């Protein structure tokens, strides 16, 4: 009937508008039941369950068998980690797999059979699930004693396929790969030519005293290659050239040439290429998001315009305001946007909306959220007004900053004085007394500010929230200290009591005070700019961080599998105690979860490979083969984590910062208003609006929606 049809159209419009808001594709089934399923699938609960499942399956690695999640990382001291009984993690895994199976079947059903065959991500998803399940069955049939678990390496895929932003970013990275490969090829040519030069230059001579360089760094082809590769990471920079240089200064020319060409030119060229290429692709992906939004809104318009109640007389199709209101009320969207759209709908006097008007209404979605602070309370008494003026004035805030600085300086002075003292000689009285005074001042400042600004206005500023929270924590800590240890007095050095010693309490208070000092940031213009850039960057970086996590997880699991048991404490620390390098290597081998700490770590690992300390250790343990694998593993990790990822990061930072900087100059006057920036908004001024023809063409290609006209 017409009523059922109308209901369907309204439901379609709701879903399309929700798609537009979330930048989702509209290419899904549009019959009533599928729409219900679609809305259920994209409801918060469902998505939350899915995210939780992904988190759980990723977190399993921390408690599974070859994990090393213990407090200390020292193989000599640490206790064996808890091993879950066979079947526990496996049953959790099975539950996760069930959720994923539901997920993939709903997704496949919703996009329809035809689209399914085109969607490589879904196919890969199903394949991953099949392989994982097979591996799971194998695992159970071996009673969890099997050595290789392929499904653990596949796990990050579940994270990857669930985020459209990550898939987009991956696509962008994928497009820059040919260019990157060219530079990496150049690097390889550079490396191999210089390796040959080095082998010719530092050949073995008759005088054993003279060929230290050959013995240590250029003994054979793999050694020479590794030496120069490590030089490219700058880890062994002066060391590698010292023997040759001490023989003849002219040898340094070789190393300088290699470093300048490799590090200064080629490595930075990689940055330039990634910046140049990636800039375009990020813009493109944002452009396609915009297209999806416009398309969703247009689709909603088209289905609403085919409602039976609309007069068919008009040549131009249009939508009644009533129908739109109905849709808006049912659609899930940000309440601010909803209200703004409702408001403009009411202000618009017309009864019918054209496509352009319809599109214009939803432009509210693209706008920055402008934050307005509630107003201060208005006091009647003159005294209160004066108080309000005094304590609401920026100078009062500056005074607070000065006091915080004074506190920091006093802590610093005490630290410097106490630096060399034995813990038993330390007198905590002075620090206790001044901290008590300062914390009282902070409390007073907070109360006076609340008085002047009113609680609501006070809390509407992030810096005040930060300040207030820390002040309250400090107050609680201080009260707890006094309750347990009494008031400070000269020679105040009580014994350990309760959960924390007094010294730990004082340290904690001091750290919080240092942390609280960050409240000065909004008062310094350049600092505020930098911090907001960084915060934006963190927002925009989520997709990157996700991909890094995926790569990292795969590497960590591979590393654990490759090096499991490669380093064991050799009884009375014969190798490990004397050998900090081997000891540190054991750190890295046993836990790959904290490996990411800048490029140096990995090159450091290289450098110590070079010194053959670890290889020797591995020889001792008769796992000689591992040494070569480890090299390949580390080279791969270095290339991905430090070379590619760091450069991507630099590219994104450059992009973000330059945009922000240009904008700052334009909007100098509007600096009071806080904008919430996303990667979409950053590019808004360069984005192109899709034309009507493009939208309609795309709509007519929709696999499930049959438009009347």
Residue of 262, 153, 144 lying closest to 197 (CA atoms): 262
Say how far apart CA 609 and CA 217 lie, in whole Å: 11
> What is the size of the binding site for its own copies (CB under 8 A)?
96
CB 556 within 8 A of CB 589: no
Helix (H, G, I), strand (E, B) or coil at 77: coil
Interface stretch with its own copies, choices 88-96, 367-375, 450-458, 504-512 (CB under 8 A): 504-512
* Rounded Cα–Cα distance for residues 428 and 506 (Å): 8
For position 558 contacting its own copies by CB under 8 A, the verdict is: no
Instruction: Show contacts with its own copies in window 6-35 (CB under 8 A).
Output: none
Q: Which stretch binds its own copies (CB under 8 A): 145-153, 194-202, 309-317, 444-452?
A: 194-202
183 binds its own copies, rule: CB under 8 A: yes
Write each residue from 85 to 114 as x if it is in contact with its own copies (CB under 8 A), else as -, in one continuous string.
Answer: ------------------------------
Q: Which residue bears the tokens 């399309």?
A: 16
Taking a C-beta distance cutoff of 8 angstroms, is the pair 186, 266 a contact?
Answer: yes
Instruction: Kindly state the smallest distance separating residue 31's Cβ from its own copies, in Å.
Output: 47
Contact residue for its own copies among 206, 382, 489, 709 (CB under 8 A): 206
Q: Are 98 and 78 in contact (CB under 8 A)?
A: no
Tokens of 37: 């399923």
Residues 139 and 128: their CA atoms lie apart, in Å, by 16
Please state the closest distance from residue 445 (CB atom) to its own copies, in A.
21
- The interface region with its own copies, picked from 197-205, 389-397, 566-574, 686-694 by CB under 8 A, is 197-205
Binding mask 141-180 for its own copies (x = CB under 8 A): ----------------------------------------
User: Of these, 91, 268, 339, 385, which contacts its own copies (CB under 8 A)?
Assistant: 268
Q: Does 674 sit near its own copies (CB under 8 A)? A: no
Q: Residue 295 or residue 601: which is nearer to its own copies going by CB?
A: 601
Q: What sections of 147-220 are H helices per DSSP?
A: 150-154, 156-162, 164-201, 212-216
- Here the tokens at position 495 are 């014994």
Q: At its nearest, how many Å lie between its own copies and the CB of residue 250?
A: 8
> Residue with structure tokens 């630290």?
415
Residue 497 binding its own copies, by CB under 8 A: no
Among 661, 667, 686, 700, binds its own copies (CB under 8 A): 661
Q: Which of 22, 73, 310, 579 binds its own copies (CB under 8 A)?
A: 73
Indicate the residue among 217 and 458 with the shorter CB distance to its own copies: 217
Residue with tokens 């209101």: 325
Residue 210 sits in the site that holds its own copies (CB under 8 A)? no
Q: What are phi and psi of 234, to 5 degrees?
A: 65, 15
**Shortest reach from residue 566's CB to its own copies, in Å:** 18
At closest approach, how far in Å is the CB of 265 from its own copies? 6
Q: Any contact of residue 669 with its own copies (CB under 8 A)?
A: no
For the CB of residue 373, give the shortest distance to its own copies in the complex, in Å: 27
Query: Quick one: 658 or 670, whose CB is closer to its own copies?
Result: 658
Burial (0-12, 13-18, 19+ Cβ within 10 Å), 329: exposed
**Structural contact between residues 169 and 181, judged by C-beta atoms closer than 8 angstroms:** no
Q: CA 212 to CA 214: how far, in whole Å?
A: 5
Backbone angles phi, psi at 199, to 5 degrees: -65, -30
Which residues on adjacent β-strands are paired with residue 319?
353
CB of 601 to its own copies, least distance (A): 5
What residues numbered 247-266 form the site for its own copies, per CB under 8 A?
247-250, 252, 255-256, 259-260, 263-266
Window of 106-114, 269-277, 383-391, 610-618 that interacts with its own copies by CB under 8 A: 269-277
Closer by beta carbon to its own copies, 70 or else 119 = 70
In which residue are the tokens 């009282």 written?
A: 440
CA distance 637 to 229: 13
- Least CB distance from residue 360 to its own copies, whole Å? 35
How many residues comprise the chain? 709
How far is residue 103's CA from residue 652's CA, in Å, rounded to a whole number? 33
Q: Which is nearer to its own copies, 68 or 305 (CB)?
A: 68
DSSP conformation class of 598: -
In the complex, what is the shortest distance from the CB of residue 68 to its own copies, in angstroms, rounded to a whole number?
Answer: 9
Residues 6+ apart with CB under 8 A from 499: none
For its own copies, the binding residues in 230-249 under the rule CB under 8 A are 234-235, 237-239, 242, 245-249
Shortest distance (Å) from residue 223 CB to its own copies:
9
Q: Whose Cβ is closer to its own copies: residue 245's or residue 441's? A: 245
Q: Binding its own copies by CB under 8 A: which of 46, 514, 627, 699?
A: 514
- With CB under 8 A as the contact rule, the residue among 86, 153, 653, 687 that binds its own copies is 653
Kindly state whether residue 116 participates in binding its own copies, applying the rule CB under 8 A: no
203 binds its own copies (CB under 8 A): yes
Return the residue of 423, 490, 491, 571 that touches its own copies, per CB under 8 A. Answer: 423
The DSSP-derived string for 274-322 is HHHHHHHHHHHHHHHHHHHHHHHHHHHHHHHHT-TTS-TT-SS--EEHH
271 in contact with its own copies (CB under 8 A): yes
Q: If you count DSSP H runs as helices and E runs as strands, how many of each does the chain have, helices first?
A: 32, 2
Alpha-carbon distance 619 to 354, whole Å?
78
DSSP structure string for 408-475: HHHHHHHHHHHTTS-TTT---HHHHHHHHHHHHHHHHHHHHHHHHH-HHHHHHSHHHHHHHHHHHHHH
Q: Does 182 sit near its own copies (CB under 8 A)?
A: yes
Binding residue for its own copies, selected from 308, 346, 456, 600, defined by CB under 8 A: 600
Answer yes or no whether residue 430 interacts with its own copies by CB under 8 A.
no
Q: Hey, is 250 helix, strand or coil?
A: coil
Measured CA to CA, the distance from residue 112 to residue 33 in angstroms comes to 13
Of residues 570 through 599, those in contact with its own copies by CB under 8 A are 580, 583-584, 587, 591, 594, 596-599
Contact between 639 and its own copies per CB under 8 A: no
Give the closest residue to 199 by CA, choosing from 214, 179, 182, 178: 214
Q: Which is nearer to its own copies, 113 or 526 (CB)?
A: 526
User: 581: number of CA atoms within 13 Å, CB side?
Assistant: 15
Q: Which of residues 275-334 bind its own copies (CB under 8 A)?
A: 275-276
Q: In DSSP terms, which residues pair with 352 in a beta bridge?
A: 320
Closer CB to its own copies, residue 419 or residue 483?
419
* Residues 515-554 within binding reach of its own copies (CB under 8 A): 517-518, 526-527, 530, 533-534, 537
Listed ranges 108-116, 123-131, 202-210, 310-318: which one lies at the site for its own copies (CB under 8 A): 202-210
Give the shortest CB-636-to-its own copies separation in angstroms. 19
């Amino acid at each position: 009937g017409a009523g059922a049809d109308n209901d369907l159209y309204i439901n379609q419009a709701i879903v399309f508008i929700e798609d537009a808001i979330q930048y989702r594709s509209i290419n899904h089934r549009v019959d009533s039941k599928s729409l219900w399923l679609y809305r259920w699938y994209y409801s918060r609960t469902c998505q939350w369950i899915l995210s939780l499942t992904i988190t759980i399956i990723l977190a399993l690695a921390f408690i599974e068998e070859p994990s090393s999640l213990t407090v200390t990382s020292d193989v000599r001291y640490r206790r064996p980690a808890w091993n879950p009984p066979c079947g526990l993690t496996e049953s959790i895994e099975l539950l996760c797999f069930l959720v994923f199976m539901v997920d993939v079947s709903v997704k496949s059903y919703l996009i329809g059979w035809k689209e399914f065959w085109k969607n490589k991500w879904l196919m890969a998803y199903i394949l991953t699930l099949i392989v994982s399940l097979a591996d799971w069955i194998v695992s159970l049939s071996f009673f969890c004693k099997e050595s290789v678990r392929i499904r653990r390496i596949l796990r990050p895929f579940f994270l990857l396929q669930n985020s459209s932003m990550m898939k987009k970013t991956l696509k962008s990275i994928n497009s820059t790969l040919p260019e990157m490969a060219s530079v990496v090829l150049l690097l390889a040519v550079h490396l191999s030519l210089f390796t040959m030069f080095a082998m010719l230059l530092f050949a073995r001579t008759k005088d054993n005293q003279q060929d230290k360089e050959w013995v240590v760094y250029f003994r054979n082809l793999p050694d020479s290659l590794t030496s120069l590769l490590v030089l490219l990471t700058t880890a062994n920079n002066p060391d590698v050239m010292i023997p040759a240089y001490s023989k003849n200064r002219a040898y340094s020319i070789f190393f300088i040439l290699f470093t300048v060409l490799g590090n200064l030119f080629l490595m930075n060229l990689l940055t330039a290429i990634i910046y140049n290429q990636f800039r375009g692709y990020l813009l493109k992906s944002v452009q396609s998001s915009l297209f999806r939004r416009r398309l969703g809104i247009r689709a909603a318009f088209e289905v609403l315009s085919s409602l039976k109640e609309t007069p068919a007389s008009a040549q131009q199709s249009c939508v009644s305001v009533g129908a739109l209101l109905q849709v808006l009320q049912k659609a899930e969207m940000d309440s601010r946007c909803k209200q703004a759209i409702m408001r403009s709908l009411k202000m618009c006097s017309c009864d019918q909306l054209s496509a352009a008007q319809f599109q214009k209404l939803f432009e509210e979605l693209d706008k920055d959220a402008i934050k307005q602070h509630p107003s201060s309370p208005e006091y009647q008494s003159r005294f209160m007004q004066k108080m309000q003026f005094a304590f609401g004035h920026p100078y009062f805030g500056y005074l607070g900053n000065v006091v915080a600085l004074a506190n920091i300086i006093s802590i610093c002075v005490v630290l410097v004085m106490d630096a060399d003292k034995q813990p038993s000689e330390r007198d905590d009285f002075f620090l206790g007394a001044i901290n008590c005074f300062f914390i009282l001042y902070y409390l007073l400042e907070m109360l006076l500010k609340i008085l002047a600004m009113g609680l609501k206005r006070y809390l509407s500023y992030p810096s005040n929230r930060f300040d207030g929270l820390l002040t309250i924590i400090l107050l609680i800590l201080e009260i707890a200290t006094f309750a347990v240890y009494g008031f400070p007095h000269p020679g105040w050095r009580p014994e350990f009591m309760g959960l924390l010693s007094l010294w730990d309490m004082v340290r904690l208070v001091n750290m919080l005070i240092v942390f609280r000092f960050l409240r000065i940031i909004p008062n310094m213009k350049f600092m505020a700019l930098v911090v907001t850039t960084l915060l934006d960057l963190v927002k925009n970086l989520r997709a990157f961080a996700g991909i890094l996590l995926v790569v990292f997880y795969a590497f960590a699991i591979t590393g654990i599998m490759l090096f499991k048991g490669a380093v064991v404490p050799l009884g009375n620390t014969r190798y490990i105690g004397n050998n900090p390098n081997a000891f540190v290597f054991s750190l890295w081998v046993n836990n790959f979860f904290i490996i990411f700490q800048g490029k140096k770590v990995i090159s450091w690992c290289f450098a110590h490979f070079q010194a053959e300390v670890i290889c020797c250790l591995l020889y001792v343990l008769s796992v000689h083969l591992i040494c070569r694998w480890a090299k390949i593993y580390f080279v791969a990790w270095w290339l991905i984590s430090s070379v590619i990822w760091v450069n991507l990061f630099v590219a994104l930072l450059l992009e973000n910062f330059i945009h922000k900087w240009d904008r700052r100059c334009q909007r100098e006057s509007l600096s009071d208003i806080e904008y919430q920036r996303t990667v979409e908004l950053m590019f808004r001024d360069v984005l192109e609006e899709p034309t009507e023809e493009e939208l309609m063409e795309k709509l007519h290609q929709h696999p499930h929606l049959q438009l009347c006209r």
